[in-house]
Structure 1
């Protein structure tokens, strides 16, 4: 009986340890709190993202990424956003259209029209 209980305890401890490693090293589990990514991801959706996606390559324009809020010291607040500019790009909004390096972007995935003007903003190297 003791061997059976010990076997179960070992199995449960191993499963918990494996789940912890997978959750902290390989995947991120996030809930989207707002509609800022609609029509791609709806408010309230739960998503899983691979933390390994950018181990061997850099993010590219158009990628949807999950990242921690830099202003949250707990690291628990996650953002889900689409990259529109990479290092060296100039991003601006004019008359409701997003321009990257002077080129109007085709963004059929956006639910609502962008309002107002913004920029130009030069994206620093190593930033997105």
Structure 2
């Protein structure tokens, strides 16, 4: 009886669900206003995980793409890195941000305008009113990615301006759909 239960419920039900949620797709909920006007607090997102795994296994070079909305983990060692979750267990939170820079790119922010490799980025997805933030140019090293929130009003988004570049292993996947 126990063997049958294990075989039917665990292997045939839970294992496929676990594999899909780990390697194919998952859902999340937006918390905060850092991606306004694109994403709103409380919206649900569908995250594709397989592009990240294909890239990690060197089967695809399509991930990550510039301007993609990505689910990222806050980098280790950052003051923003630890949150208390269930039962008081600390973990690094996931955030949704937009990919601005890849390894080898030089990123600079001048009075709210973002420059990649010396060229001003057209950013139709951000709010009209931006902060006058500036950031000295940084060149991303191997395995480093620069991410920003769409809401650039001063203090509205904690992103690579504050915690620095994120590593490839901290990218969970692109946001496919939001509702």
Which TM class, normalised by the smaller chain length? Answer: 0.7 to 0.9
Greater per-residue strand proportion: 2
1:79 aligns to what? 95
Query: Where do 5+ consecutive residues of structure 2 fail to align?
Result: 55-59, 83-89, 146-179
Q: State the TM-score, normalized to the length of structure 1.
A: 0.80
1:53 aligns to what? 51
Q: How far apart, in 1, do the equivalents of 2:92 and 2:27 lie?
A: 11
CA RMSD of aligned residues (A): 2.4
Query: Where do 5+ consecutive residues of structure 1 fail to align?
Result: none
Rg larger for: 1
Query: What count of residue pairs does the alignment treat as equivalent?
Result: 122
Bigger relative contact order (CA 8 A; separation at least 6) = 2
1:68 aligns with 2:73: yes
Distance 1:122 1:76, change over 3 A: closer
Picking from 124, 127, 136, the partner of 1:119 is 136
1:104 aligns to what? 120
